[in-house]
Structure 1
Amino acid sequence: MVSLKPCALPGCPNLVERGYCKTHDEYNKPKRNNEAFKKLDSKKTKESIKFYVSPAWRKVSKHYRKLHPICERCERTRPLNPQASVLVHHIKPLEYVIRDKESPYNFRNLEALCLACHNRIHLKRKK
């Protein structure tokens, strides 16, 4: 017999084998966006790839996520169930930041996001 645990949504009394109950199953959907993210990732320029793997960006990104451990978009749009931030997003795209000779490390242009929110932003831009 499988042991049942409370639904992953804080405060939900429903018991499940794992994850979310049927009522809150929509919170499982953002994890299914990985394929969309891989497609977007394959379109990055050589310059942006070089930037995102640089030690300076990794340090800034790590520091920013420490300051913002919860997805900033989820906090505004889904305050009852915000997700953890997993990456730092440039609000103004990196290509424009570089073109305009601005600092890519400016915190005013950064946003800590979960993978689902990040994918939604980029999928909207591509349309």
Structure 2
Amino acid sequence: MPKKCKKPCKHPGCPNLTDGLYCIEHQPLHPDRPSAAKRGYGSRWQRLSKAYLRKHPLCVKCMARGWFTAATVVDHIIPHRGDPHLMWDESN
């Protein structure tokens, strides 16, 4: 029985052909990890993180070094590990 045709790797710019989504070189590091939305980073997180960046436009770690760099991501100070109180606490 014939096999299915190989497809290009989904990684941007990768010309390798593969049976799955990604070639061996670009396999995800954590294949069993749930999606960002399933880990709590859905539309509510997107909305709140954008609002936080508007209020706090500079990178905290860069400012500690005396650099003034625009912040591009929002991260927790204390990892929440699924704790909703830490997840949604704006001071964290």
Give the TM-score category using the shorter length: 0.5 to 0.7
For structure 2, the 5+ residue unaligned runs are 1-27
Aligned to 1:89, which of 60, 75, 84? 75
- Answer yes or no: is the 8 Å Cα contact 2:53–2:72 preserved in 1: yes
Partner of 1:107: 90
Give the structure with the higher percent strand: 1
- Is 2:57 the partner of 1:74? no
Q: TM-score, normalised by structure 1?
A: 0.42
Partner of 1:59: 47
Query: Which amino acid is the alignment partner of residue 83 of structure 1?
Result: T
CA deviation profile, 1:79-118 (whole Å, cap 9, x unmatched): 2x321100100111131xx2x4424121111xxxxxxxxx
Query: Which amino acid is the alignment partner of residue 68 of structure 1?
Result: H
Deviation above 3 Å: which 4+ runs of structure 1?
A: 41-45
Could you tell me how far apart the structure 2 residues matched to 1:106 and 1:66 are? 17
Query: Which amino acid is the alignment partner of residue 82 of structure 1?
Result: F
Give the structure with the higher percent helix: 1
Taking a change above 3 Å as real, the CA distance of residues 76 and 108 of structure 1, as seen in their structure-2 partners, is: same
Residue-pair matches, total:
62
Q: CA RMSD in A?
A: 2.4
Q: TM-score, normalised by structure 2?
A: 0.56
- Answer yes or no: is the 8 Å Cα contact 2:58–2:70 preserved in 1: yes
Identity %: 26
Classify the secondary structure of the residue corresponding to 1:89. coil
